[in-house]
Amino acid sequence: MIDRSELEKFLIKFRQEMHRFPELSNQEFNTTEKIRNVLEKNGIDCLDTGLKTGLCANIKGDHPGKTIALRADIDALPILEQSGVSYASEYPGVMHACGHDLHTSVLLGAAILLQEQKSNLHGEVKILFQAAEETGVGAKAVLESGSLNEVEAIFGFHNDPSLPVGTLGTKSGALTAAVDRFEIQIKARGAHAAKPHEGRDPMLVIAQIIQAFQPLVSREITPDSHAVVSITQVHSGSTWNVIPEQAMLEGTVRTFSRENRTYIEARIRTILDSLARLHEVEIELLWYGNCPSVFNDERLTTLSLTCAKEVMTETKIVKETAIGEDFAYYQEQIPGSFVMIGSGGPYELHDPRFRVDDAMISQAVDYFVLLAKTYLAPTS
């Protein structure tokens, strides 16, 4: 019988060690081996996925049944840590500023307990430690590997610093946003700043692009759509007395429905084509479609909340959030439910001061163990 107190101490130690040595997306080689070592020491089989980083473990119950997956992400971010914790990153400019070290430790704990209880387990649980979530390509690589071909339902979570420790929040339907990135290249005609009529000023085009994009959200889609269009970079010119030849803008679109995602991209293209003709310049749009919206299955989300009420301090229905999460790719092929579990704050995700409260680990482990056992329990 596993000593729960000792397990909790181990998981906290593992998380803090993982925090000290973070690895960026698709570079999680040491992280993968550390996870593998823990799994194998506990008699848990690791599958051959063919992926260079990340891994998938399999816990096969002693009784036949369905197959589910539990997923955690393992990569870090290119951020210089300013958290002040004693176990801060030893790799300058790389940090677990999104809590993937916490996610990994929680599912390691769940895997260890499920393995211990496999004599009473019906079916199989795949524990997925996914690489490259931050770049939006990790989930697609897992799906392409075929590792989840037999999975009937998939469950995942993200820590939420805005929720107190012990609180689990989720909702059916859209929970996170679809994420798209755009880059706009403007090719105009330079001139002396004293003779603007001899050129085609890209600065004027920039100004009109920024103005034209704002009504996309405020006037063209319904107020309850919660879409976001943000221009985050503008670059042009090199000196004070020359009208430049070129300009670049970059930004992001966040949407919660396929209809709005398609509509906004189409409208951006129309706006840019019109402005190019109006100002007699060339405008090129580079559109980088990223992950879709996490869209929770209603039945599985009801199950998630039911299980959470037994082991968490509080459960709540939360509002959708405009962050991106590549768990959404799994849900395009497999029914799934994704939840947010409070990590205590005070700093938001991707903040260089971000830190989590390790007290949340134990309840989160219990939640996933109960969730897996409940879903797999045979029906009469």
pLDDT tens-digit map of 80-92: 999 999 999 999 9
Known binding residue 98? Answer is: yes
Q: Give residue 11's pLDDT.
A: 98
**C-alpha to C-alpha distance for 78 and 81, rounded to whole angstroms:** 9
Average pLDDT, the chain: 97
Give the confidence band of 379 by pLDDT, cuts at 50, 70, 90.
confident
Q: Give residue 267's pLDDT.
A: 98
What average pLDDT does this structure show over 203-217?
97
Q: Give residue 191's pLDDT.
A: 97
Please work out, in degrees rounded to the nearest 5, the angle formed at the alpha carbon of residue 151 by the alpha carbons of 148 and 155.
Answer: 95
Higher pLDDT, 345 or 254: 254
Least confident of 96-105, 115-124, 125-134, 223-232: 223-232
What average pLDDT does this structure show over 6-11?
98
Beta carbons of 342 and 168 less than 8 angstroms apart: yes
Q: Give residue 328's pLDDT.
A: 98
Q: Give residue 224's pLDDT.
A: 86
pLDDT digits (tens, 9 = 90+) for 321-335: 999 999 999 999 999
Give the confidence band of 284 by pLDDT, cuts at 50, 70, 90.
very high
CATH classification code of 4-175+294-376: 3.40.630.10
Known binding residue 226? Answer is: no
Other beta carbons less than 10 A from residue 380's beta carbon: 2
The secondary structure of 11-59, three-state, reads HHHHHHHHHHCCCCCCCCHHHHHHHHHHHHHCCCEECCCCCCCCEEEEE
Quote the tokens at residue 154: 């998939």
- Please name which of 279, 358, 254, 377 lies closest in space to residue 15, comparing C-alpha atoms: 358
Judged against a pLDDT cut of 80, whether residue 299 lies above it is answered with yes
What average pLDDT does this structure show over 120-149?
97
Q: Global pTM?
A: 0.92
**C-alpha to C-alpha distance for 310 and 366, rounded to whole angstroms:** 9
pLDDT digits (tens, 9 = 90+) for 11-31: 999 999 999 999 999 999 999
What average pLDDT does this structure show over 71-78?
98
CATH classification code of 178-289: 3.30.70.360
**C-alpha to C-alpha distance for 375 and 303, rounded to whole angstroms:** 8
* 322 burial type by CB count under 10 A (0-12 exposed, 13-18 middle, 19+ buried): middle
Known binding residue 192? Answer is: no
What average pLDDT does this structure show over 105-111?
98
What average pLDDT does this structure show over 225-229?
92
Q: Give residue 226's pLDDT.
A: 87
Judged against a pLDDT cut of 90, whether residue 357 lies above it is answered with yes
Give the confidence band of 1 by pLDDT, cuts at 50, 70, 90.
confident
**C-alpha to C-alpha distance for 230 and 91, rounded to whole angstroms:** 31
Known binding residue 63? Answer is: no
3-state secondary structure of 170: strand
pLDDT digits (tens, 9 = 90+) for 169-196: 999 999 999 999 999 999 999 999 999 9
Known binding residue 100? Answer is: yes
**Residues of the chain above pLDDT 90, percent:** 98
**C-alpha to C-alpha distance for 126 and 37, rounded to whole angstroms:** 17
Cis previous bond, 346, omega within 30: yes
Question: What DSSP designation does 200 have?
Answer: B
Beta carbons of 297 and 154 less than 8 angstroms apart: no
Quote the tokens at residue 331: 């849900």
Spell out the domain ranges in the chain.
4-175+294-376, 178-289
Judged against a pLDDT cut of 70, whether residue 133 lies above it is answered with yes
Quote the tokens at residue 95: 């940090």
The secondary structure of 46-102, three-state, reads ECCCCCCCCEEEEEECCEEEEEEEEEEECCCECCCCCCCCCCCCCCCCCECCCCHHH
- Please name which of 153, 283, 151 lies closest in space to residue 206, comparing C-alpha atoms: 283
Judged against a pLDDT cut of 90, whether residue 225 lies above it is answered with no
Give the confidence band of 380 by pLDDT, cuts at 50, 70, 90.
low
